[in-house]
Amino acid sequence: MRLDDLLSRRLVVLTGKGGVGKSVVGAALAVAARERGKRVLLVEVAAPLEAARLLGGPPSQGRETEALPGLFTVNLDPAAVMNEYVRHVVKLEMLARRILTSPIYRRFFAAAPGLKELMVLGKIMVLEEARKHLSQAPLWDLVVVDAPATGHGLAFLKVPLAASAAVPVGPIGRNARRVLAMLRDPGRTALVVVAIPEEMAVVEAVQFHRLAAGEIGIEPAAIVLNGCHERRFTDEDEAEVLRLTTEGAEGELEPGVPLPAALRAARRQIRRRKLTRFYQARLRRTLDTPLVSLPFLFREALGLEDVRLLARKLEAA
């Protein structure tokens, strides 16, 4: 995958199994675009921990907030998005407040299938289409969306398809069709599936890829295999680690570092690297989609410099 191709779109949607690091990958992609001079908006959906913390920026509190010069973040709360939509449609604030405080409205919003997802996707479309007041140039050069995990992600993306068929007339059906057209437009939108080199994450990535293409008509543009263990030993080193382990070698690698503990750590690294190679080969064999690998970072907590490192890896991919 060339980053040029991915960043030529106006909207990049990331999805993947929970815990695969979608937020980190999204932040890295946003930083890579920002380093190219793009004005970027990173969108999250009801995220308990916002990606702004990785960039050194403040929480967005539901508004587009600048985390770095030219890079903004926003965390969309579905209820707040729905309230904004009601105010936009009703116009009169007093009447809008009566609707929003009505128990009937609250029950309807809680129970209506797919309504939250459709409202959030509609808001993302509004953000992607936003224009500057004077020049009418796009407000954002790129919108990166950290979508729900694959367990909910397929349902999230299928909502406009179902709504456009179920509601053939009226503003909701019309907006659903506009959202679906946006998602299906390969020149405008890129879908990126994120996984890690573990069985369930890779299985879900493959299933999601096939279902997105087959059921929604959206062909993923790339697979990102995050948290890959890079090679640290030569073949000779690996053979020596195995020999010393088999012989039960004792002693210290250096003062305070027992050799058996160092050998166990080395064997774990070798095993994880082999698993990384296995799942890289499996994804390449199974899917005809560009694959990008990002390294596992040995950190207690990630920060801006780590995100920049991953952004450089994306550039080099």
pLDDT digits (tens, 9 = 90+) for 57-86: 898 888 999 999 999 999 999 889 988 888
Flag the least confident range among 27-41, 103-117, 231-245, 294-308: 103-117
Q: How far apart are CA 189 and CA 160, in angstroms?
A: 15
What element of type H or E holds 39? Answer: none
Across the chain, what does the average pLDDT equal?
A: 90
Task: Choose among 77, 190, 58, 171: nearest CA to 123.
Answer: 77
Please, which pLDDT band fits residue 149 given cuts at 50, 70 and 90? confident
Is the pLDDT score of 166 beyond 60? yes
The per-residue pLDDT for 181 is 94
Please, which pLDDT band fits residue 152 given cuts at 50, 70 and 90? low
Is the pLDDT score of 1 beyond 80? no
Flag the least confident range among 21-35, 93-107, 133-147: 93-107
Domains and CATH numbers, the chain: 3-229+287-316 (3.40.50.300)
Q: What percent of the chain has pLDDT above 90?
A: 54
Q: How far apart are CA 305 and CA 287, in angstroms?
A: 32
With helix as H, strand as E and coil as C, how does 266-277 read? Answer: HHHHHHHHHHHH
Quick: pLDDT tens for 43-55. Answer: 999 888 888 889 9
Is the pLDDT score of 193 beyond 90? yes
Residue 314 burial class via C-beta count within 10 angstroms: exposed 0-12, middle 13-18, buried 19 and up: buried
Q: How far apart are CA 115 and CA 160, in angstroms?
A: 10
- The residues pairing with 13 across neighbouring beta strands, listed in sequence order, are 145, 191
The per-residue pLDDT for 150 is 58
Is the pLDDT score of 278 beyond 70? yes
The per-residue pLDDT for 292 is 95
The per-residue pLDDT for 144 is 97
